[in-house]
Amino acid sequence: MRNLKTKTIGGGAVVAILAGALALGGASSANAGVTGCSAPGGKQEAGAVIGGLLGGVIGNKVGGRHATGETIAGAALGAAAGSAIGCEAQKTRAQNAGTYTQGGYRLSRAISPASYRRIGDAFVAESGVNLRAAPTTNSNRVGRLQAGQRFEALAQVRGSEWILVGQDGVGIGYVRGDLVHPVGHRYAAY
């Protein structure tokens, strides 16, 4: 009896591995999200493989005598869950890769820190304006806002008219305050 149980568990593991491979292969060839993460990296695929294997083993254990269907279903669900978790890890890593924290603000490595007074409102560019690496017109250009473009105004640089422009909570450049205004206001003094 003991050999029979060992063969069943071994066979279940083989079915789990094959089901995980099928779940991963079928989803990636159909681009159903297992490899379609918007952030670069390999964490999503690794999560899908690990999730598929674990889900297949759990499905096999739950399945009892006729565990093939449960093994395949567990592998598919595990691959999907692992894929989602891996994608979120990729996004977090990509978001934090080119940033540093200074004075309570996350800043792009392309810009210099300054002393800030928090704003945290939506602003709009009055015309096309350059984003600068530091709060001065002599600094490098790091981007551009188009006329009418809305953006996050994270903070004002203390003692100046410069605004820290944010994207998803990360400071990405500076713009002169006289070239932008809060959304809903025609003109604002900053």
| Residues contacting residue 71 through CB under 8 Å, at least 6 positions apart | 12, 15, 16, 19, 56, 57, 59, 60, 63
Tens of pLDDT, residue by residue over 13-32, are 444 444 444 444 444 333 34
Domains along the sequence of the chain with CATH: 2-97 (no CATH), 100-182 (2.30.30.40)
CB atoms within 10 A of CB 9: 13
Q: Which letter does DSSP use for residue 113 in this model?
A: -
Q: Which residues pair with 123 in a beta bridge?
A: 151, 182
CB atoms within 10 A of CB 104: 8
Instruction: Name the percent of the chain lying above pLDDT 70.
Output: 72
Tens of pLDDT, residue by residue over 130-168, are 999 999 999 999 999 999 999 999 999 999 999 999 998
Q: 0.85 exceeded by the pTM?
A: no
**Spatial separation of the C-alpha atoms in residues 163 and 171, rounded to whole Å:** 10
Q: Which of 163, 159, 158, 188 is nearest to 173 (CA)?
A: 163
Locate 118 and state its tokens.
């928090």
User: What pLDDT is recorded for position 68?
Assistant: 84
Q: Quote the mean pLDDT of the chain.
A: 78
Q: Are 155 and 119 contacting, i.e. CB atoms less than 8 angstroms apart?
A: yes
Q: Residue 172 pLDDT > 70, yes or no?
A: yes
